[in-house]
Amino acid sequence: MAGPTGARYPSSGTIQYAPLLFSSKVMRIFTESTVCNEICNTDYEGDIKSKGDQVKVRVAPTYMNVEDYVPGTPINYDTPGEDSRMLDIDQAKVVAFKVDDVDDVQSDLTLMNIFAERSANSAKINTDTNILAYAAGKAVAQNKGATAGKVSSTYNLGTAGAAISITKDNATDKIVDLGTVLSEYNVPDQGRYCVIPNWYANYLKKSDLKAADITGDNTAVLRTGLIGEVDNFKIYKSNLVATTNDTGLKYHVIAGVKDAITFASQINKSESVRSTTNFEDLWRLLLLYGREVIMPEALAELYCAPS
């Protein structure tokens, strides 16, 4: 049985380059759409070969001694310590499906493109859910809770049993509080992000700032959830923000810079196998990744719920 004109592969399933093309397409769509690629750094991806691999992450000292200079006296030289953390590649996910020969021949749709988009979107949802849940609660103690702020200890960002009730009147204020908390830990203004649930975005758009400060291009909104900026934060909306059942759902809104969380991923294997029982091709892809909060001081958290 011959495949239709323009088919990605013939019904015999013997073409060897199709899995590579499919793998590349899935990774491209995945990279463009996932929030984790907007809020995590990928500096340490290296060569990931199998689940269980580790990437050594070197962390520079946060402070160097500054002393008065006195002409004619010897200069004291620091010996900076080097901290390191291990990024474990401990997540292994598989996407697998089959394409029947008859369906492929009779369909007037580009089946592989459709399946690639669905696979990438599924991988996105799974990965974003995992990373946002993993990051919840990982900020240093001074960047969360009822007395947040390393210097002032005056910002209430919510605690278990006492989540902050968000309204259109305080939606912006709490994001500004997150920014001040990060600033008290000397986290740079550049590259800040905040990930909020859609209900929070609704309040934010109805706040006093409205469209004057909540701006963003439509493409970015559709692709990554970016809806604009507030107080140097790029604001991303997501339905996958981590929750806790604490007398109703409470949300872990995280904010920070990319240095806080590192993420490493790759599609490790992509292959097609001819079914031995039916006239169909079997497709499967293996996605490996790891995530680690390597700078918890560059992360802040608001524990909240809609009013």
Q: What is the 3-state secondary structure (H, E, C) of 169-198?
A: CCHHHHHHHHHHHHHHCCCCCCCEEEEECH
Rounded to whole angstroms, how far apart are CA atoms 169 and 159? 20
pLDDT over 50 (residue 15): no
Rounded to whole angstroms, how far apart are CA atoms 29 and 31? 6
Inter-helix orientation angle 198-205/171-184, to 10°: 110
pTM exceeds 0.85: no
State the residue for tokens 């609660």.
Answer: 137
pLDDT digits (tens, 9 = 90+) for 127-137: 899 999 999 99
Strand, helix or coil for residue 238: coil
pLDDT digits (tens, 9 = 90+) for 273-301: 888 898 887 888 888 889 999 999 999 99
Residue 103, pLDDT score: 64
Residue 12, pLDDT score: 43
Residue 32, pLDDT score: 54
Length of the chain: 307
Strand, helix or coil for residue 224: helix
Closest CA to 23 of 101, 95, 92, 109: 95
- Mean pLDDT (the chain, rounded): 81
pLDDT digits (tens, 9 = 90+) for 140-187: 999 999 999 999 999 999 999 999 999 999 999 999 999 999 999 999
Tokens linked to 262: 């590192």
Under 8 Å between Cβ of 193 and 236:
yes
Rounded to whole angstroms, how far apart are CA atoms 266 and 243? 27
pLDDT digits (tens, 9 = 90+) for 26-59: 666 555 556 888 899 988 777 666 777 887 777 7
More confident residue, 25 or 265: 265
Residue 97, pLDDT score: 83
Closest CA to 51 of 289, 291, 292: 289
Residue 24, pLDDT score: 62
